[in-house]
Structure 1
């Protein structure tokens, strides 16, 4: 059960206890009130019985004689009268009237009130009030013998007892048609109940105070219980957390011991008894019961060459020369080979500062030792490999700014073994002056951002003037988020740079050759472009000459012919500029759209395509700009469309179509140039981008598509491929989004 449930359950039981306690308090109070009510009722009943006894006594003697000089005759006085011996007049009084007179005397002398009443009284003075009517009607209807109630202020208790008709009653009430046993009326008794009221109010106050005290005590007890529960669960949580941490520590210890391939040993120096753990023995290839737990076991297994040094280190720890014991030695494995052991421990002392116990771990470090020896043996091999590959390395301690360089680094820079080499020399002596700022900025930003980087820069060997090229890769060793060491590898790439430049020059030459090879085609295109404008110019000139010869020169006609000549001349001039732009390479990249490059393409080729009845269908969806060498991309488009034109002329007589489609796909710009010329033979599809491959016999150079591939993939960082699609060939060019 969790803490919340325990607290809620405690609150429930406290509330339940209060409810039960309140129930018994109310029940006890109700019982006391009922007893008090019963006492009041019994007292009323007693008064009722006394009144009935007086009535019965009076009735028994059919009235009584009384002496009175004040009584006046009335219908309630019996006419019978006698004189006493003393000659005093005695008058006989009706028993009912006498009972009424006794009650009235009592009413005048005390707090009690008595009254004889009836629904059909003979004496009007006996007529019932509201309360008495209710009682009398209940007697007749419900056949009950008594009816009573407290007043609202509890100061009076009114009791009405039933009177039934008997034989004596018939003497007076014979005219009212009563029968023996009928309810004839009742006797009302009203007694004072101030004591009952005080008792009732006092009891109610006690009940209320008791309940308040119980509630307050319950709240106090509840708070104490909640504190107690909270304290218990806090302690329980603490115990569980401690147990969990203890378990975690144990698991970590177990994992650390298991993962570190370590074995425990415990040496009682007083009794000279030693304990070797199961892992300690398994480390040497033995089972737990195959080696004795004795110091002689270790002495017999240790390599004799290592024993003296190990014993010396143990004694130094016993003598407090060292705080901890640590020694590396070899122990013989069960199969005979030597196991390298890292032995660590600590000596414990008694109050007299005498060594009494030593505890420690054996760790198998055979692999590390073999690796160290292998690493030592491979150092020379590494240096030789660096020398062959023109590689070298250096490291920089960030805290001391001390730089360490390999032998090959010194050789690379032309330094002697004892020559000073620091960061100052690196920048001021060995980095080419024009590259120093870039190299310094690159290193500074790398340290700031804690990131690796690669850079190429120029350098000169010590006391040499030839400029050489170097490629440097730099990595940082980071501990706790802080760079503690910077390591770099450097490689002399002078030959590669020159070869790359030579290859680039060759490619540029081949691109130029490709342009020149297409010059004949371009001249043909120019001829197509110029044919109609030249005809218009010639016609306009002839018209002017004819008008001059006929002496019919008209200014409006002359102006119209001259306007046509000027317009066509401007068109010819623009055509020259368009073709001139094609042959002029751009040295720097510019920001263009695919559509704008195709517009330049069709300025050069549009008339030729139109003259060969070739329809161009274009769709540009992305409108993204490309940062590229637009003139080289223009050359690629011209090469592909020119090939498509030739294929269409050769294979189709009509409905010749070239489609241009440009769109985005997965952050790449896709350009598709397709035709409906029947496609490329599958046998040669994978050869069309090879250099000097052509299907045009002596008319082709085989450089167009090859140079297109070189331009797209090497110069423009894109991809190009060809395939057969629908009813023709399709060339697809892709540019990565990072080049957009």
Structure 2
């Protein structure tokens, strides 16, 4: 009875955990999609703003242009605002601000977005800022390095870019006291985004419904399996009771025979466990970091596949899809999935043990290890370089050697991040002389404290407090010196720490 209750409680806990994990996953997915949409809208507004600024620059370099038009009325705030040609035609003077307003009128009617030029020092009172625009202009005045500001309010995407005073602008605005480089106003770009967010909500709704259906199906299958296992268990208990009496007698005899042998095995096992425990702990620590690297490397392709599916959905709604479009999107999605599959192969090969020594390319193993850590290093802006003149073959265990390189580079990475090093970098130099092969790993993290440099390879010594195990460098030294008959030492140079691996050359390597 107690076992049944435990199973029920465990099942309930499993369901709650599953719902929680799926809920968090869905929420994060929705947030990513919303961020992508917002970024797209911002880029659209920024492109429009930059186009208007380029138009104004063109107009300003000619001190405005004169336009022949019967419908266009001269700007009353410009003086002079028109001229007469030698043929008696009226030519209206159009400066950058006047041209911006004309384009805004066209864009509002045809393209669905509004443009407005405004300032805290007005020439034309019709361009007076509203309350929100006034706050942004004041912010630009206090923070002149801020190029633009945006917000989504009342289903409207409201963007405003800052306008800096240039020499050509002083033709019209010198009387307002502006100097070159001053913020003299801004251009706002406003358009409706209700439809875009409604489409995003619809996509998320359909995705949620699909996930809920799959969860219900999975729960149904799990309940069926539990019922089957429960019935199977009852039959097994009946058979087990019939065999218990016989097994007791057999076990007593087996236990007597095994006691002596077991004690011998236990002593041998304890000795082996002591030797293997540190290596296993080091591998598990490396495995934990590898899992983090997998998650980091998968995040971008998963987001890319999600964006591709969103693109297909929007295109289907707005324009319809043809075979060429679908094939292109599927190709992009398959490329992302192939990248994820290759990531799994890379990590699986990295942890594949080598049973026997073999000759391997030192440069190639270093590059394989870098491939594992590449995304993590790039994410933290750590520059990584390998200096190697030619192929250098080494005799040993490539998988264990890769673990050594991984431990040293990971430690260097942690130091660079913890110390917030300016322009962080890690370099690997592969060299060779008549007797030895050398692999030097250097960083610019400031080096190791003198009081710790002689303890760095001791087991369980760490400066990382809660995050460190203190076994990575110890295991690295054991692998190089005991398994590959080499030497691993460390010293400080003028920029940081320098780990030097030296391995004797075998005759076949020479």
TM-score under structure 2 length normalisation: 0.46
The structure that has the greater radius of gyration is 1
Which structure features the higher share of strand residues? Answer: 1
TM-score under structure 1 length normalisation: 0.32
Which structure features the higher share of helix residues? Answer: 2
